[in-house]
Every structure is written in C-alpha cells, then in structure tokens.
Structure 1
C-alpha cells in the first residue's frame, strides 16, 4: 500500500533533474500538498499556468514524484488526437519534444498498443510504472452507435483495460488542457469517477469558470511576461475587418512565411542562432520552457 507524503528533498531533486522554472517548481509543490491534504480521499484540483510556461514539464515531474512515492498507475487524458500526439512525444526519447529528467522511466500505454502481448506482461508487473495516454472520447461509456475498445474484454489482457484501471488502488489522473472538458463535463466526470482514482489533476492555461474553486496554483500570462518566461503577445488583425476562418488561416500562413524569411536573414548574420527541429523540419526557434 502506498502513501503520498510531502518530501521537500525529493521535490528539490526532481526540480533540479527536470530543470524546472520557478512557476513549475511551485506548482508541483502545491499539487503535492493538495494530494497529501486529501489524505487518500478523492480530490480534484487544477493548476492554471500561462501558455508557454511549460505545463508538460509539470506533468512529467509530477509523474516522477508519484513514481518515487510508489505509484505505478497514471492516466493522462487528452481532449483530442492532436494533443494526444503531442503528449506522447513528451515521453518519447527519440522525439525533439521529449521531456528529459525522469528517474523512473514509464512504460507508455496507448490506444494503439494496449492490446499487444508485451503490454499484458507489463500490466502484470507490479514494479513497472505505467502511464496510460488516452483521449477522453476513448474512455467515456459506449453507446449503441459508438463502441469503446478499452471497455471490451481482451484475451491478451485477460480483462477490459478500463476494468483493469478500475481495479487499481493507486491510479492518478492528469487531464491535459483541462478547460476543454467542460463541453463533455458530465460524461467526462462519470468516466473518471468510475475509475475511482486517488486524484484528478487538471492542467490548463484558461480555466473554465466551474474550475475556479479547484485551482491550487495559478500563474498568469501577465506574471509570465513580467518574469520573462513568455514573449509579449501581439494581436494581428485586418483593417478591412475580414475575419472568416479561411482568411485567418491564410493570413497566419503568410505571417509564418514572413517570420521564417526574416529569421533566415538574421541567421545569415548570426549563424549561431538556435533552431528547434520537429521531425525533419525546422519550425521554430528558441528553448522549451520548463
């Protein structure tokens, strides 16, 4: 049986390994304190950090803290396939988006691999840290028109994956982009609560009004700009007032091309300017926020 405790030395060690920026270090400490204060009872909380501050680093460092405390089951819920792909890249050492620093490397289980034989072996290993990354649509109760593979019995697992998660005693749920779930609030709440997790930790930069009472840590865009973690945002608009979606997308592409050309000119003069590569394509510059 595990028990989550507040370990200041462990928090400092993890912050150093992940090279956490101050807002994420403070957020990690506040989330852990909230979990400890719940004393084993289900608790739901939200960490509200401005976009660009590095919520992915908070997620990975929290998982590593829980693992060091004996937790072996973490479910990361994403609102759509795009964010799911981004999240999986954070756990993939071969990806440019990989978040390094974990002492306990998780075995990542996804909708694509959970029916494989090696996953069944890992699920039966009580010592392996297992991180499940699924969309909310893949977890909610099936209907007559929509089936959910995670709720169907699987011969490799010996049970449905959802049932497996239900029967764990140390399940923690992290909801990425938590504000999006209010659109499916009832179904999402039922799907998560039926799993009987120890805690639900929501990560967002724009909390829904219903999430305000659940916020345990907040770091606003204004604070991030003042501290130099985020650039001052620039609002771009058309003088002619055109704002249909197709025009906005075309304008965005044009602005990106202009930015790319300007930066290439800068690099011709300053050849040591940094590049960030995603896959085989240079798409941005700078250093990821922690």
Structure 2
C-alpha cells in the first residue's frame, strides 16, 4: 500500500519544475496520499529537510520558474555511506515512494535508491534536453525561447551596426539548445559539441553574405564548443570583421515556463504518481510522439541521446 510519498528536485533548476511539483502533490492528494516535500534535493534528503505538502502548498506556482523545494548538488549522496543515510531518513519518515525531478545525475541517484528497495520514479527536467527515452525534458522549450528572444534582439543591433554577433548558449556536452535556437532564430552558423566545425567555412559564409548585401550575421555557439570570446577573436583575425559576444548564461534557466513546459510537467508529474500507485519502481516518465511513456531508469542511463543531424543540415541550408 502506498500511503505517503516524497518529492524532490535535484541538480540544475529548470523552468517548469514547480509545475511538476504541483502535479505530483495534487495528483497524490487526489488519490488520498500524503506528500512530503524534500528541500535541497539529495543533500536535504540526507539532512532530513522534510515538510508536509498540502493542496495550498502548490497554489500559484505553475507559472513560476525555479523550484519552491530548492535544489542542490550532494557529493555525500554519491558515496555508499551517504545513500545509507538517505535510506534511513526515508524509512524514518515512512515514505512509501519517491518522485525525483531532475536530470542525468538526479536519475543516477534515483536508480541507487531503487536498488536499495525504495520505490522511485524519475521525471526529466533539464534545459539541456539530453535525457534519452523522451523527446523533450521540462525546461528545454522555455530555455530555447529565451535564447531565440535574445537572438531576435541581437539581430536588430547587429544590423544597425553591420556587425557579427556571437551568442553563446548553455550546453557543455549537448547542442540541443544551440541547434533549436539557432534554427528558430535564423542563425547563419551553429556550433555544437556533437558535430565538428570549420571556422574557415564560417568566415566564408559571412563573406558570401556580405557580397550579396547582408548587413549582419548571427552565430550561435554551445558553451561546450569553447569560449565564444576566443571564437570571435579567431573570426576577426581570419575575416577582419567586427564582432560582439553575448553570453546568455544562467538567464536561460530562469523565467516563466512556456505553456508547453507547464503541460509537459503536468503530464509527467501526474504519471509519476500513477506509477507508484501501480507498484512500479526504478522508472522514468518520458514523452514520445505526443504520448506519456515510461522506461526503466537503468535503460535510460545506459543510452545516449543524440542531436538531429537532419535538423542541423537544414539549418545550414536555410542560412545560405
């Protein structure tokens, strides 16, 4: 019997996490369960930072960025001793299940708890969208729209001053934000970690545009490719162009979540509770082909999600 469950957010924050918390809490209460909110992720789990959640606890948060439960990274939880401490806190609190909202590192922790016998369900929330077995993760759509808005504004001043503007977006190991924002924003070049690039070809494309009267160029760079500042210096050196750099940084993690992220969070958060009620554990809720699905966490952690090369090639074709 599932009577009491816990919910936590872990790792980097993502717009829509609050909507997911809301879905978990209200779906659980609807089914007569008690819900315990765990503050500061796995660090708070070890410290026993628990608070009982009610319907009113999640009122007016669906539109808010960040996470009301706060988030943190825990080196101690990565150790066997730390996980045993967390297990003890779970048992003392009488939790019959746990919903973990986060990304890859959060799911590794969730898989450990599942192996220890704690019914655990993962809900993917990361702006990087690098989690396998789901088309989208909570926060990705909002982050892309934030980047596109910046590109739109940068183009105005780039055109006015006839400059090259390089926009650096998040993505240390994945280029999903850069690719989608670059395609939607009409960038001339998109540089991502997954695909090798030739800076000479980037400069050549800028020169071709100049010859036909193009006044500006926008280059989107994922942070994992390298420093946008260094890339701008190389472009200036090779082509003699005047460049400017915009580093969006953590602004991509904040802000009001889009309607899509709120819906995705609502669907997946509610399904996580259903899986616990069905007696499932060690599962991740995903969203594929407009359907809510679930996969074993172990499978998710073994697979790798890759960018759509066709989309990358299309971006290149449309920016000629």
How would you bin the TM-score normalised by the shorter chain? 0.3 to 0.5
Higher helix share: 2
Which structure has the greater CA radius of gyration?
2
Please, what TM-score do these two structures have when normalized by structure 2?
0.32
In the superposition, the TM-score normalised over structure 1's length comes to 0.34
